[in-house]
Structure 1
Amino acid sequence: MHKASHPDHHRWISHTANTRGCVRPVRLTGSLHTVDTTTGEILGTRHTATDMPDGVLYVPCGDRRASVCPPCAETYRADTYQLIRSGLVGGKGVPESVAGHPAVFATFTAPSFGPVHTRVVNTKTGKVRPCRIRRDARPCPHGKLLTCTQRHTDNASCLGRPICLDCYDHAAHVVWNAWAGELWRRTMIRLGRDLRPYEHAHGIRLRVSYGKVAEYQRRGVVHFHALIRLDTRPNTDPKRGPLQDPDAILPPPEDITPVDLAELVAGAASTTAFRTPDYLDTGHSWPITWGPQIDIRPVAGLADGEITSEAVAAYLAKYATKATEPTGLPTTGRMTAEAAEHYSDARTHLGRLVAYAFQLGTPPEDLVPLGATDDERDQLRRDWHDTWGRLRRWTHMLGFGGHFATKSRRYSTTHRELRAARRIWRRTTQQQWQRDQGHDVDDTTLVVADLTLAGIGWNSTADAQLAASAAARAREYRALVKQERTTTSA
Structure 2
Amino acid sequence: MTVTATLAGLDPTTLGDALRVAGSPGFDRWQDQIRRTGGCSDPIHLTGTTVTRDRDTGQVLHSYSTEAEPGGRLRVACGNRRASRCPSCAWTYAGDTYHLIRAGLTGDPAKGTPHTVRNHPRVFATLTAPSFGPVHNRPGRGHRPCRCGIHHPADAPELGTALDPAAYDYAGAVLWNNHAGHLWRYVTIYLPRELAKCAGITQRELRERLRISYGKVAEYQKRGAIHFHAVIRLDGPDGPDTAPPAWATRDLLTNALRTAAARAEVALPAVGDQPARVLRWGTQLDVQAIGAFGHGEDLTEQAVASYVAKYATKAAEATGTVDRRIGELSELDKLPDLPDHTRRLIRACRDLDALYPDRKLWQWAHMLGFRGHFSTKSRRYSTTLGALRQVRADYRAAQQRAALGLPDPDDHPEATTLTLAHWAYAGHGHTPGESWLAATIARDIQHNRDTAREHRAALDTAGEW
TM normalised by structure 2 equals: 0.84
1:4 CA drift (Å)? 2.6
Counterpart among 392, 401, 405 of residue 440 in structure 1 = 405
- How far apart, CA to CA, are the structure 1 residues paired with 2:274 and 2:82? 39
Kindly indicate whether residue 102 of structure 2 is the aligned counterpart of residue 131 of structure 1: no
Aligned length: 429
Does the alignment pair 1:13 with 2:17?
no
In the alignment, the residues of structure 1 paired with residue 26 and residue 343 of structure 2 have an alpha-carbon distance, to the nearest angstrom, of: 51
The aligned runs of 1:11-410 (5 Å cut-off) are 11-36=29-54, 43-48=61-66, 50-91=67-108, 92-121=111-140, 128-132=143-147, 148-197=148-197, 198=199, 200=201, 204-234=208-238, 249-279=241-271, 284-304=275-295, 305-339=297-331, 348-362=340-354, 385=357, 387-388=358-359, 390-410=360-380
Q: Which residue of 2 aligns with 1:141?
A: none
Contact 1:344 1:352 in 2 (8 A): no
Measure the CA separation in 2 of the matches of 1:291 and 1:418: 35
> What one-letter code is carried by the residue in structure 2 that aligns with 1:16?
I
> Unmatched 5+ residue regions in structure 1?
133-147, 235-246, 364-383
Q: Which amino acid letter does the alignment assign opposite residue 296 of structure 1?
A: V
The one-letter amino acid of 1:274's match is V
Q: CA deviation at 1:353?
A: 1.2
Q: Which residue pairs with 1:454 in the alignment?
A: 426
Distance 1:153 1:162 in 2: 17
Using the TM superposition, give the Cα deviation of residue 58 of structure 1 relative to its aligned residue in structure 2, in angstroms.
0.5
2: CA distance, partners of 1:111 / 1:213 = 18
- For the Cα contact (< 8 Å) 2:38–2:77, is it kept in 1? yes
- SS state of the match for residue 88, structure 1? helix
CA gap of 1:113–1:6, structure 2 versus 1, over 3 A, is closer
1:335 positional shift: 3.3
* Aligned 8 A contact 2:136 2:158 in 1: yes
Superposed displacement of residue 16, structure 1: 3.1
CA distance 1:345–1:429, change in 2 (3 Å) = closer
Q: Tell me: CA distance 1:484–1:321, structure 2 relative to 1, closer, same or farther (3 Å).
A: closer
Q: Distance in 2 between matches of 1:19 and 1:169?
A: 44
Cα distance change on mapping 1:293 and 1:449 into 2, 3 Å: same
The aligned amino acid for 1:129 is: R
Q: 1:224 and 1:306 mapped to 2: Cα distance? A: 20
Change (3 A) 1:347 1:108: closer
Contact 2:177 / 2:369 at 8 angstroms: preserved in 1? yes
Q: Aligned equivalents of 2:154 and 2:454: distance in 1? A: 34
**Cα deviation digits, residues 264-287 of structure 1 (max 9, x gap):** 11111112223124436x684221
Mapped partners of 1:40, 1:482: distance in 2? 46
Taking a change above 3 Å as real, the CA distance of residues 302 and 484 of structure 1, as seen in their structure-2 partners, is closer
SS of the residue corresponding to residue 392 of structure 1 reads: coil
Quote the Cα distance in structure 2 between the aligned partners of 1:318 and 1:347.
24
2:434 counterpart residue number: 463
Root-mean-square deviation (CA, aligned residues, Å) is 2.8
Instruction: Give the match for residue 370 of structure 1.
Output: none
SS of structure 1 residue aligned to 2:423 = strand
Alpha-carbon spacing, 1:174–1:206, altered in 2? closer, same or farther (3 Å): same
Would you say the 8 A contact 1:113–1:172 is kept in 2?
Answer: yes
User: What are the superposed Cα offsets for residues 136-161 of structure 1, whole Å, 9 maximum, x if unpaired?
Assistant: xxxxxxxxxxxx22111111122111
Paired amino acid for 1:25:
P
- The structural deviation recorded for 1:115 is 1.0
User: Displacement of 1:333 after TM fit?
Assistant: 2.2
1-structure distance, mates of 2:22, 2:245:
64
Distance apart, 1:478 and its partner CA: 4.9
Distance 1:337 1:61 in 2: 28
- The Cα of 1:55 is off from its aligned counterpart by 0.4
Pair 39,467 (structure 1): closer, same or farther in 2 beyond 3 Å: farther
Say if 1:486 and 1:115 are closer, same or farther in 2 by CA, change over 3 A.
closer
CA positional deviation for 1:479:
4.8
**Residues 196-205 or 406-415, more deviating:** 196-205
How far apart are the structure 2 equivalents of 1:422 and 1:176? 38
User: CA–CA distance in 2 between the matches of 1:176 and 1:445?
Assistant: 54
- Distance in structure 2 (CA, Å) of the matches to 1:465 and 1:283: 49
Instruction: Please say if residues 212 and 226 of structure 1, whose CA atoms lie closer than 8 Å, have aligned partners that are also in contact.
Output: yes
User: Structure 2 vs 1, CA of residues 249 and 287 (structure 1 numbering), >3 Å: closer, same or farther?
Assistant: farther
- Alpha-carbon separation, structure 2, partners of 1:185 and 1:179: 10
Distance 2:230 2:292 in 1: 18
Seen in structure 2, the aligned counterparts of structure 1 residues 173 and 37 have a Cα distance that, compared at 3 Å, is: farther
User: CA 1:345 to 1:352, structure 2 compared with 1: closer, same or farther past 3 Å?
Assistant: farther
Question: Cα distance 1:287–1:27, how it changes in 2: closer, same or farther (>3 A)?
Answer: same
Q: Shift of residue 332 of structure 1? A: 2.8
Whether the 8 Å CA contact 1:64–1:321 is kept in 2: the answer is: yes
Aligned equivalents of 1:11 and 1:297: distance in 2? Answer: 50
Separation in structure 1 between the aligned mates of residue 442 and residue 332 of structure 2, nearest angstrom: 37
Q: 2:85, 2:423 → 1: CA distance?
A: 25
- Secondary structure in 2 aligned to 1:195? helix
Residue 331 of structure 1 deviates from its aligned partner by 2.1
| Counterpart-to-counterpart distance in 2, 1:345 and 1:166 | 21
CA offsets, 1:98-138, max 9 Å, x none? 1111111111111111111111226xxxx621112xxxxxx
Determine the C-alpha separation between the residues in 1 that align with 2:401 and 2:172: 57
Tell me the distance in 1 between the aligned counterparts of 2:26 and 2:338. 56
Query: Aligned partners of 2:53, 2:107: CA distance in 1, in Å?
Result: 38
User: What is the percent sequence identity of the aligned residues?
Assistant: 41
Separation (CA, whole Å) in 1 of partners of 2:377 and 2:61: 42
